[in-house]
Chains A and B, each alone.
Chain A
Amino acid sequence: MGALARSWDHPRWRYEEEISPAARRSAARAASRSREDRSPQHETVVERAAQPGLRVVRRPQARVGAILLIVGFLGVALAAPVGINLAVVRTQWQISELRQQQDDAVADRSSLRAEHAALSSTQRVKETADRLGMVTPREVGFIRLGAEAADMTAASAGGVLVASTAEGGAAGR
Chain B
Amino acid sequence: MFVIVLFLLLVGRAVQIQVVRGAEYQDLAQRQHVRELAIVAKRGVIYDRNGDELAVSRRMATIGADPLFVGDSDATAAALAPVLGMDAADLSAQLRGDGRYVLLARRVEPAVGEAVLGLKLRGIVVHPEEKRVYPKGALAPQLLGFVGTENTGLAGLESQYDEVLKGDAGSRRVVGDPLGRTLGVLFDQVGREGSSVVLTIDEDIQFAAEQALTAAVERFGALKGSAVVLDPRSGEVLAMANVPYFDTNQFGSEPEENRRNTAVNDQYEPGSTFKMVVAAAALEEGLVTPDTSFELGPSITVYDRVVSEAHEDLPAKRVLTVTDILAQSSNVGAITLGLQVGKERLIEYIKEFGFTRPTGIDFPGEASGSMLSSDKWSGSTIANVPIGQGISVTSVQLAAAYGAVANDGVYVQPHLAKDTELPPPRRVVSSEVARQLREMLRVTVAEGTGANAQVEGYVVAGKTGTAQKVLASGKGYSDDRFVASFVGLVPADDPALVILVAIDEPTMEHYGSIVAAPVFAEIADFALRRLAIPPSDSR
**A contact set with B: CB distance below 8 Å:** 67, 71, 74-75, 78, 81, 92-93, 96, 99-100, 103, 106-107, 110-111, 113-118, 120-123, 126, 136, 139-140, 142, 144, 156-158, 160, 162, 171-173
Contacts and interface: CB of A to CB of B under 8 A. Distances in A.
B241 to A, nearest CB: 13
B101 interface: no
B358 interface: no
Given A114-B56, A118-B137, A71 B538 contact: no
Interface in B1-47: 4, 7, 11, 14-15, 18, 42, 45
Contact of A96 (B18, B52, B185, B530): B185
A107 B7 contact: no
Contacts of A113: 45, 53, 56
A163 B80 CA distance: 57
Interface string B171-212: 000000000000011111000000000000001100100000
A96 B137 CA distance: 36
Nearest to A121: B136
Interface centre among B42, B185, B188, B534 (most CB of A within 10 A): B534
Contact of B59 (A111, A140, A156, A162): A111
B78 to A, nearest CB: 30
27 contacts: A74-B11, A78-B15, A78-B18, A81-B18, A92-B187, A96-B186, A100-B185, A103-B128, A106-B59, A107-B58, A111-B59, A114-B53, A114-B133, A117-B54, A118-B135, A118-B136, A120-B52, A121-B136, A121-B139, A123-B139, A126-B207, A136-B526, A140-B535, A157-B532, A158-B532, A162-B532, A171-B529
B26 to A, nearest CB: 10
A148 to B, nearest CB: 19
How many B residues touch the partner, as a band?
A: 35 or more
B56 A117 contact: yes
Contacts of A123: 136-139, 207
B533 interface: yes
A110 B59 contact: yes
Nearest to A74: B11
Nearest to B4: A67
A142 B207 CA distance: 24
A85 B7 CA distance: 24
Contacts of B533: 158
Interface in B126-166: 128, 133, 135-139
B207 A78 contact: no
A78 B188 CA distance: 29
A122 B139 contact: yes
B532 A107 contact: no
B360 interface: no
Given A67-B4, A117-B56, A107 B110 contact: yes
Contacts of A115: 135
Contacts of B136: 117-118, 121-123
A148 B392 CA distance: 51
Contacts of A136: 526
A122 B203 contact: yes
Contacts of B431: none
Interface string B52-90: 111011110000000000000000000000000000000
Interface string B419-448: 000000000000000000000000000000
A142 B538 contact: yes
Contact of A173 (B57, B110, B530, B535): B530
A117 B135 contact: yes
